[in-house]
Amino acid sequence: MSGPAPAVILVRPQLGVNIGACARAMLNFGLTDLRIVAPRDGWPNPDAGPAASGADSVLANARVFETTADACAGLSLIFATTMRERDLTRRVVTPLQAATEFHGLATQGGLMFGPERTGLLTEDLAVAHAILTIPVNPDFGSLNLAQAVVVTAYEWYRQSLAITDDVLVNHDGPAPHEELEGLIGAVDAQLAANGYYNPVQGRADAARLIMRNLLTRPEFTAGEVRTLRGIVRGLSRKRHE
Amino acid sequence: MSGPAPAVILVRPQLGVNIGACARAMLNFGLTDLRIVAPRDGWPNPDAGPAASGADSVLANARVFETTADACAGLSLIFATTMRERDLTRRVVTPLQAATEFHGLATQGGLMFGPERTGLLTEDLAVAHAILTIPVNPDFGSLNLAQAVVVTAYEWYRQSLAITDDVLVNHDGPAPHEELEGLIGAVDAQLAANGYYNPVQGRADAARLIMRNLLTRPEFTAGEVRTLRGIVRGLSRKRHE
């Protein structure tokens, strides 16, 4: 089915709130292996917990390493996330491609993210197999750390579900034919009685067809048809009746 | 090319930092139309600017509205983002599907997000044409507001890059919000005049909500709305008028 969930490697992160937000984003999309390289403010960081909003298990199981290379132990395919072009002859993939490649592996891969302001150094990139670049507005490309994690994790999770992107139908399906016919008949009778149809030859038939299409196209459920019959009665009721 | 970038509608957001983070996420992925409904702490909010990290133009151009319906002015296809199933017969789409539909429209659509803790109310959902659900870990589905915006905006931007002129607009899309409101208002006024609503406390509001949902769910086009207004007039016409 799908490959193991990739590890997230945060290289020299600065703010505890960002580490917590990354943990939350990871767990939202089924990632649990958090590896932290040389966090600026040490570890554990009291700001991380509140920002994780319940993803405490990810923080509790996080491992801290001194170097980026150490943090990559046991991982196979590692993508380094960067916004800028580098003087490196690495291939560059999108989040979608990276997720596809992870799912094609039998082994665990990794997603590497740099510090908030400066991004990854050339030495960090050297540990990665390829570059992952998130497509962003070229005029405003500064992506928050946790939000970069969100995008890559979302792509992995989406593919792990093998989401079809078919519309998920959340309703009962259309009413039985005769119930819709009952509604159309009621509308038609009331419109005819009220002189709605143009008497010009053929125009009444065209108007009836438009009305029928209008009431058929939405695939009203049986419950909706019942409500509509009530509304039609309500609309056509004489005042002070 | 591709359809207009959708508006982001934040309904009753609580924290300024979240509004700022949403603005940043929007601009990262090319969205600029931010609409805020009844922000808890008023507007402008001093916490929003720092969190926007440079997306000041989005905040400066943000518009504040009293009601969700007001905030939808000028928008056609509106998706309400929700994690939970509701007792509504709306179709449910993924972020990818929503983005695809936006790109197929000639008009501007909207993405609606609820307050941080409570999510959207039934009354908010009634203004939307369909539900957007982000696929998340069922055991940890609480997505941060800005991160929900990231995922939906990312999908839109990703597709805007890939979209070619070959993508055809093959239907008109839903009518502008205010045209649908005009229809709902006309039906409502006629039903009220005809004594349709149950006078029992609260029942009239429930009936109005059902009627609104019924007329919103089918995503009627502008042409269909015009036809329906004619039918409503036809149904409510007095005989021998």
Contact B89 A221 (CB under 8 A): yes
Nearest to B81 by CA among B133, B128, B36: B133
- Residue among A231, A236, A241 whose CB faces B211 most closely: A231
Residue A234 CA to residue A232 CA, distance in Å, equals: 5
Contact A140 B54 (CB under 8 A): yes
pLDDT in tens, B183-222: 999 999 999 998 888 777 678 888 888 898 889 888 898 9
Above 60 in pLDDT, residue B169? no
Above 80 in pLDDT, residue A111? yes
Pairs of CB atoms within 8 A across A/B: 181
Residue B109 and residue B157 in one domain = yes
Residue B133 and residue B32 in one domain = yes
Contact B92 A165 (CB under 8 A): no
In a domain, A188, yes or no: yes
Residue B158 and residue B185 in one domain = no
State the CATH number of the domain containing residue B41: 3.40.1280.10
pLDDT in tens, A16-48: 999 999 999 999 999 999 999 999 999 999 999
A31: nearest CA partner in chain B: B137
Quick one: pLDDT at residue B121?
A: 92
Quick one: pLDDT at residue A166?
A: 43
Contact A28 B194 (CB under 8 A): no
Q: Model's pTM, two decimal places?
A: 0.82
Contact A211 B224 (CB under 8 A): no
Quick one: pLDDT at residue A91?
A: 81
Residue A147 and residue A196 in one domain = no
Q: DSSP for chain B, please give it.
A: --PPPPEEEEES---HHHHHHHHHHHHHTT---EEEES-TT-SS-TTHHHHHTT-HHHHHT-EEESSHHHHTTT--SEEEE-SS--SS---EE-HHHHHHHHHH-SS--EEEE--TTT---HHHHTT-SEEE-----TTS----HHHHHHHHHHHHHHHHHH--TT----S--SPPHHHHHHHHHHHHHHHHHTT-S--STTHHHHHHHHHHHHHHTT---HHHHHHHHHHHHHHHSPTT-
In a domain, A171, yes or no: no
Above 60 in pLDDT, residue B166? no
Average pLDDT over residues B13-24: 97
Residue A132 and residue A108 in one domain = yes
In a domain, A1, yes or no: no
pLDDT in tens, A123-180: 898 888 888 999 999 999 889 999 999 999 999 999 888 654 444 444 566 787 788 8
Quick one: pLDDT at residue A92?
A: 86
Quick one: pLDDT at residue B2?
A: 61
Out of B109, B138, B162, a domain closes at B162
Quick one: pLDDT at residue A123?
A: 86
> Which residues constitute the domain of residue B206?
177-236
Shortest Cα distance from B1 to chain A (angstroms)?
Answer: 17
- Residue among A53, A147, A158 whose CB faces B150 most closely: A147
- Residue among A140, A146, A227 whose CB faces B55 most closely: A140
Contact B91 A169 (CB under 8 A): yes
Contacts of residue B21 in chain A, CB cutoff 8 Å?
144
In a domain, B167, yes or no: no
Residue B137 and residue B21 in one domain = yes
Residue B108 and residue B191 in one domain = no
* Structural domain total, chain A: 2
Residue B40 and residue B142 in one domain = yes
Out of B108, B136, B162, a domain closes at B162
